[in-house]
């Protein structure tokens, strides 16, 4: 395990603040106060406020991209793949709930890197859609409106960052299984 350097500490504290108030409402002085240093000292470790956001969001985005690419290569049924996607979200989110808030709510402030982020996001959604479409084609999944299906699953998975921190001792396996049951099998008796 890499030891935490000063820059990583800043990223962690920043993500916490960004979650609480949003990127734009957090000042460099707020961040400095929570780091117990002065604002100017932050610049010994980071280039700019925007660069902090960039690192938080893109590192997570790339984890999703890698995870998804691993899953679509698998030789498995569509339902199995969907379950793996669900687990991917639970795993990444539970490891970094604060960063997920920035990814969901502050991506529009990325500046330079905005287009790159949007590309990653679009590709991810497209792979997700493809898995569902394959499931419909192979008769594993109900032929419900594809877009509504995708939207519903993504909404739930993307909101996990709000919900996970509220539950004490989340078990990743258990939560993934519950979500699979609800998202895939439904709630009707």
Partner DNA sequence: AACCAAAACTAACAATTGTTAGTCTAACTT
Partner DNA sequence: AAGTTAGACTAACAATTGTTAGTTTTGGTT
Q: Which residues bind a copy of itself (CB under 8 A)?
A: 20-25, 79, 105-106, 108-109, 139-142, 144-145, 147-149, 151-152, 154-156, 158-159, 162-163, 167, 175, 178-179, 181-189
- Which partner in DNA, a copy of itself, none is near 39 (CB below 5 to 8 A by kind)? DNA
| Cα diameter, the chain | 60
Q: Which is nearer to DNA, 27 or 171 (CB)?
A: 27
Task: Quote the least distance from Cβ 8 to DNA, whole Å.
Answer: 10
- Which partner in DNA, a copy of itself, none is near 138 (CB below 5 to 8 A by kind)? none
Q: Hey, how many other C-beta atoms are within 10 angstroms of the C-beta on 99?
A: 26
Q: Which is nearer to a copy of itself, 33 or 156 (CB)?
A: 156
Sign for the CA dihedral angle at 86, 92, 95, 100 comes to negative
- The CA distance from 130 to 120, in Å, is 15
User: Using CB under 7 A as the criterion, which residues of the chain lie in contact with DNA when the complex forms?
Assistant: 5-6, 26-29, 32, 37-45, 48-50
Task: Quote the least distance from Cβ 120 to a copy of itself, whole Å.
Answer: 17
Q: What angle do CA 29, 35, 36 make, to 5 degrees?
A: 85
Which of 47, 46, 63, 58 lies closest to 110, judged by CA? 58
- Which partner in a copy of itself, DNA, none is near 50 (CB below 5 to 8 A by kind)? DNA
Q: Which residue has the tokens 């961040």?
A: 31
The 10 Å CB-count burial string (b at 16+, else e) for 20-44 is eeebeebebebbbeebeeeeeebee
Q: Which is nearer to a copy of itself, 1 or 148 (CB)?
A: 148
Task: Quote the least distance from Cβ 52 to DNA, whole Å.
Answer: 8
Q: Which is nearer to DNA, 49 or 121 (CB)?
A: 49
- The CA distance from 161 to 145, in Å, is 27
């Amino acid at each position: 395990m890499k030891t935490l350097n000063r820059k990583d500490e800043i990223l962690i504290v920043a993500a916490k603040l960004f979650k609480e108030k949003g990127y734009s409402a957090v000042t460099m002085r707020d961040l400095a106060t929570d780091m117990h240093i002065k604002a100017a000292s932050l610049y010994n470790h980071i280039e700019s406020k925007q660069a902090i956001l960039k690192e938080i969001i893109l590192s997570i985005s790339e984890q999703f991209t890698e995870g998804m690419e691993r899953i679509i290569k698998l030789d498995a049924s569509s339902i199995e793949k969907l379950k793996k996607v669900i687990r991917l979200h639970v795993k990444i989110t539970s490891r970094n709930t604060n960063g997920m808030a920035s990814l969901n709510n502050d991506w529009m402030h990325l500046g330079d890197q905005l287009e790159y982020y949007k590309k990653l996001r679009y590709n991810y959604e497209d792979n997700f859609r493809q898995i569902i479409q394959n499931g419909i084609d192979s008769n594993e999944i109900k032929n419900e409106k594809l877009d509504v299906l995708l939207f519903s699953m993504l909404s739930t998975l993307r909101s996990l960052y709000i919900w996970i921190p509220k539950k004490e001792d989340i078990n990743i396996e258990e939560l993934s299984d519950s979500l699979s049951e609800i998202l895939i099998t439904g709630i009707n008796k």
